A and B are shown apart, each in its own frame.
Chain A
Amino acid sequence: MFMKSVLRITVSAAVLALGGGMASAGNVEVLHWWTSGGEAAALNVLKDDLASKGVEWQDMPVAGGGGEAAMTALRARVTAGNAPTAVQMLGFDIRDWAAEGALANLDDVATSEGWDAVVPDALKAFSKYDGHWVAAPVNVHSTNWVWINKKALDAAGGKAPTNWDELIAVLDAMKANGITPLAHGGQAWQDATIFDAVVLSMGNDFYKASMIDLDENALGGDTMVEVFNRMAKLRSYVDDNFSGRDWNLASAMVINGEAGMQMMGDWAKGEFLRADQVPGKDFVCIRFPGTQGSVTFNSDQFAMFKVNDPEAQKAQKLMASAVMSPVFQSAFNVVKGSVPARTDVPNDAFDDCGKKGMADLAEANANGSLFGSMAHGHAVPASIKNAMYDVVTAHFNGEYDAKEAAAELVAAVADAK
């Protein structure tokens, strides 16, 4: 009796599983980590668009750690020979998978729709591998933003800082006014986000030499020591409870006036808007002082995995085309806080900060001052990025002084190469 029921349940489970595994024609299974309300709603635009073209969307969301959990799942899926059709991916992950020969070739869609002309070169470095399109970029987040509480800024002199000294003056004034000057969450990637901005404020060439080309002289030189000194200075404006705090709680501190400013990528805007804050009136968005005209970015892209079934290939290309359509790019990015990956999307639907973001991106792209963000996996591969995290975080938490940190940075990068 007992064994029989065991058997029955097993068989029925097996039947169910098999039933689900038989793919009907024209499906895309999408692995992504956009699971919060706004993001998912934005993605739903894409899903509906595909549905109208007869492509069924099979949703495989895996949240956590900015995609870390999803990347682990992906590795298991590919190893099992069961790769999803499309996967949300960041920077170097795309290159790594392309190097494994796991990604599909999107050249025919890209050519017929003229992607080459509208996508910035800095993004193409990731969307194309070996000259072939392998991924469709969805958005560009820029990470060198500062979000300032307007009231706190007015109380501290009212002028948005444009260089390091002015920044320190404003932070000091905020401190004197009795608020926490800098809202920050002590997580490795958040520490690194500020680090990115400080490095960039030392000049475009220095950012490129140290964060992208990994030049040892730049990584361990005097300028880098100065970067770490500035990080320590910024650390002194952060409250004592910062460690482990989620970034959105730090944003909340700025929103309710407990803190003066936060240095965070443009996704923070969503938090402000949700709290009914108006850009320009309740809060101000500026580039990190000293980085005006330059942009560090990360870009979410849908990497397309090789599929054999011709129907699935067709669906995959339809999806790539839908991702790159200006309508979706606008609709999605308005909600997400980022800016479109193609530079020819009209900016009507965007708010002030969004319009500024689009203009900055276009300008940086034209001037060659658009760089991948180290903190967000667009400057160096994961192993080196994490090695840098280790040093930046350790220094920010007072384990090294600036000189030691610069020396450690050289060693850690060499070890991770």
Chain B
Amino acid sequence: MIDRFQNWLPRMVLAPSFFLVLIFVYGFILYTGYLSMTDSKMLPSYNWVGFANYEKLFRLRHWNTAITNLAIFGILYIGISSAIGLLLAILLDQKIRAEGFIRPIYLYPMALSFIVTGTAWKWFLDPGIGLENTMHQWGWASFHFNWIKDRNYAIYTVVIAAVWQSSGFVMAMFLAGLRGVDNEIIKAAQIDGATGFRIYRKIIIPMMRPVFLSAFVVLAHLAIKAYDLVVALTGGGPGRATELPATFMYSYTFTRNQMGVGASSAIIMLIMIFSIIVPYVYSELRAGGKR
């Protein structure tokens, strides 16, 4: 009797989380899927319209802009954040005396939301009052940095701010990874005559594949959810040049009173997210099975 109870206990412990997530995540996703097939405007309505919202969605120029931007933003953001994170982690791992002082400085941006830092960034990037102006005052008259005002370049300023926020966090992940590398392996390599960056390139970095994966998942989820960043920096402008799927979805659902179209964009977004994340989860589970 007690044994059977002990057998069921783990499931009972897991059950609340399971049911909460089942209802509040998957239930809501199904509900959104249903809404995307209705003519919901300001509030949900239940008039079935089939795939009309999806057809409309893909006719909209802004949706295409948003998807293209997400591709540009996602690739650059994940790539640059990982590169800077790895570089800083390697440099910080060189017996740096002030490490305890430097590390929190690299890490702190992750603690701040863009409601907090948005204005400072906006100022900094503004050619009239920010970096360009300062450089001019310092006598560098030909200095030009007006990307945030240029609709072809504005998305890159969003990348800069996003990299600023999370590259330190990625650094911490890589640093943890580096510190976890078995010293014996490195010593063996050194005895074989390998030196300096060769050791990193040939031995240490390949060993950190799991860290790259974790960093990728964290960054990918931040990239796809990127919303307040765009709102704080450019408000989607110039024009609608920096619209991302998350801002698109929000504006159609809540400010444009076209909830049906908003829901259909959410579903497309979820399909994109899941097609990236599911393979990761699958490999994660298989690795777990081997343990």
A and B touch in the complex (CB under 8 A): yes
Binds A, one of B4-12, B162-170, B202-210, B250-258: B250-258
A310 at the interface (CB under 8 A from B): no
Q: How far is the CA of A386 from the CA of B127 in the complex (A)?
A: 28
Asked if B255 and A382 sit within 8 Å, CB to CB, the answer is yes
Interface residues in B104-145 (C-beta closer than 8 Å to A) = 122, 126-128
B175 at the interface (CB under 8 A from A): no
Asked if A386 and B251 sit within 8 Å, CB to CB, the answer is yes
Nearest-neighbor residue (CB-CB) of A78 within chain B: B43
A375 at the interface (CB under 8 A from B): no
Asked if B238 and A244 sit within 8 Å, CB to CB, the answer is yes
Asked if B240 and A186 sit within 8 Å, CB to CB, the answer is no
Query: Which residues of A lie under 8 Å from residue B251 when comparing CB positions?
Result: 386
Query: Which residues of A lie under 8 Å from residue B126 when comparing CB positions?
Result: 241, 244-245
Contact string against B for A residues 70-87, beta-carbon threshold 8 Å, 1 for contact and 0 otherwise: 011001001100000000
Nearest-neighbor residue (CB-CB) of A66 within chain B: B255
Binds A, one of B21-29, B68-76, B146-154: B146-154
Asked if A243 and B254 sit within 8 Å, CB to CB, the answer is no
Closest Cβ of chain B to A90, distance in Å, is: 12
Asked if B122 and A383 sit within 8 Å, CB to CB, the answer is no
Asked if B239 and A96 sit within 8 Å, CB to CB, the answer is no
Query: Which residues of A lie under 8 Å from residue B154 when comparing CB positions?
Result: 243
Query: Which residues of A lie under 8 Å from residue B179 when comparing CB positions?
Result: none
Binds B, one of A136-144, A154-162, A356-364, A389-397: A389-397
A169 at the interface (CB under 8 A from B): no
- Given the known interface contacts A186-B237, A382-B257, the answer about A244 and B149 at a Cβ–Cβ threshold of 8 Å is yes
Q: How far is the CA of A334 from the CA of B154 in the complex (A)?
A: 40
B291 at the interface (CB under 8 A from A): no
B56 at the interface (CB under 8 A from A): yes
- Give the interface residue-count category, chain B: 20 to 34
Q: How far is the CA of A72 from the CA of B258 in the complex (A)?
A: 13
A279 at the interface (CB under 8 A from B): no
A187 at the interface (CB under 8 A from B): yes
Query: Which residues of B lie under 8 Å from residue A72 when comparing CB positions?
Result: 254-255
Q: How far is the CA of A397 from the CA of B237 in the complex (A)?
A: 10
Query: Which residues of B lie under 8 Å from residue A242 when comparing CB positions?
Result: 149
Q: How far is the CA of A415 from the CA of B154 in the complex (A)?
A: 28
Query: Which residues of A lie under 8 Å from residue B122 when comparing CB positions?
Result: 244
A240 at the interface (CB under 8 A from B): yes
Classify the interface of chain A: helix, strand, loop or mixed: helix
A131 at the interface (CB under 8 A from B): no
Interface residues in A399-417 (C-beta closer than 8 Å to B) = 399, 415-416
Nearest-neighbor residue (CB-CB) of B241 within chain A: A397
Q: How far is the CA of A186 from the CA of B122 in the complex (A)?
A: 14
Nearest-neighbor residue (CB-CB) of B132 within chain A: A241
Asked if B42 and A241 sit within 8 Å, CB to CB, the answer is no
Q: How far is the CA of A187 from the CA of B240 in the complex (A)?
A: 10
Nearest-neighbor residue (CB-CB) of B59 within chain A: A415
Query: Which residues of B lie under 8 Å from residue A68 when comparing CB positions?
Result: 254-255
Query: Which residues of B lie under 8 Å from residue A65 when comparing CB positions?
Result: 255
Which of A97, A243, A386, A415 is within 8 Å of B238, CB to CB? A243
Nearest-neighbor residue (CB-CB) of B236 within chain A: A188
- Given the known interface contacts A243-B148, A397-B151, the answer about A188 and B255 at a Cβ–Cβ threshold of 8 Å is no
Asked if B146 and A381 sit within 8 Å, CB to CB, the answer is no
Asked if B146 and A394 sit within 8 Å, CB to CB, the answer is no
Contact string against B for A residues 211-244, beta-carbon threshold 8 Å, 1 for contact and 0 otherwise: 0000000000000000000000000000011111
Asked if A79 and B256 sit within 8 Å, CB to CB, the answer is no
Q: How many A-B pairs with Cβ below 8 Å?
A: 82
B103 at the interface (CB under 8 A from A): no
Q: How far is the CA of A243 from the CA of B239 in the complex (A)?
A: 8
Closest Cβ of chain B to A71, distance in Å, is: 7
Interface size of A by CB at 8 A reads 32
Asked if B237 and A381 sit within 8 Å, CB to CB, the answer is no
Closest Cβ of chain A to B51, distance in Å, is: 16
Query: Which residues of A lie under 8 Å from residue B61 when comparing CB positions?
Result: 390
A100 at the interface (CB under 8 A from B): yes
Asked if B43 and A244 sit within 8 Å, CB to CB, the answer is no
Closest Cβ of chain B to A92, distance in Å, is: 9
Query: Which residues of A lie under 8 Å from residue B240 when comparing CB positions?
Result: 390, 393-394
Asked if A383 and B41 sit within 8 Å, CB to CB, the answer is yes
Closest Cβ of chain A to B214, distance in Å, is: 28
Q: How far is the CA of A394 from the CA of B254 in the complex (A)?
A: 22
Contact string against A for B residues 230-252, beta-carbon threshold 8 Å, 1 for contact and 0 otherwise: 00001101111100000000010
Query: Which residues of A lie under 8 Å from residue B59 when comparing CB positions?
Result: 415
Nearest-neighbor residue (CB-CB) of A96 within chain B: B42
Asked if A71 and B43 sit within 8 Å, CB to CB, the answer is no
Query: Which residues of B lie under 8 Å from residue A78 when comparing CB positions?
Result: 43
Q: How far is the CA of A386 from the CA of B42 in the complex (A)?
A: 14
Query: Which residues of B lie under 8 Å from residue A97 when comparing CB positions?
Result: 42
B62 at the interface (CB under 8 A from A): yes
Asked if B238 and A241 sit within 8 Å, CB to CB, the answer is no
Query: Which residues of A lie under 8 Å from residue B151 when comparing CB positions?
Result: 243, 397, 399
Asked if B256 and A382 sit within 8 Å, CB to CB, the answer is yes
Contact string against A for B residues 28-59, beta-carbon threshold 8 Å, 1 for contact and 0 otherwise: 00000000000001110000000000001001
Which of A71, A241, A382, A399 is within 8 Å of B149, CB to CB? A241
Nearest-neighbor residue (CB-CB) of A394 within chain B: B239
Query: Which residues of A lie under 8 Å from residue B60 when comparing CB positions?
Result: 415
Q: How far is the CA of A409 from the CA of B239 in the complex (A)?
A: 15
Closest Cβ of chain B to A231, distance in Å, is: 13
Contact sample, A vs B, 5 pairs, CB 8 Å cutoff: A186-B149, A186-B237, A188-B235, A241-B149, A399-B239
Additional pairs, 9, CB under 8 Å, beyond known A97-B42, A382-B256: A75-B43, A188-B235, A242-B149, A244-B126, A244-B234, A390-B240, A396-B239, A399-B239, A416-B258
| B interface, CB within 8 angstroms of A | 41-43, 56, 59-62, 122, 126-128, 146, 148-149, 151, 154, 234-235, 237-241, 251, 254-258
Q: Which 7 A-B pairs have the closest CB atoms?
A: A397-B239, A243-B238, A241-B128, A72-B254, A243-B149, A386-B256, A382-B257
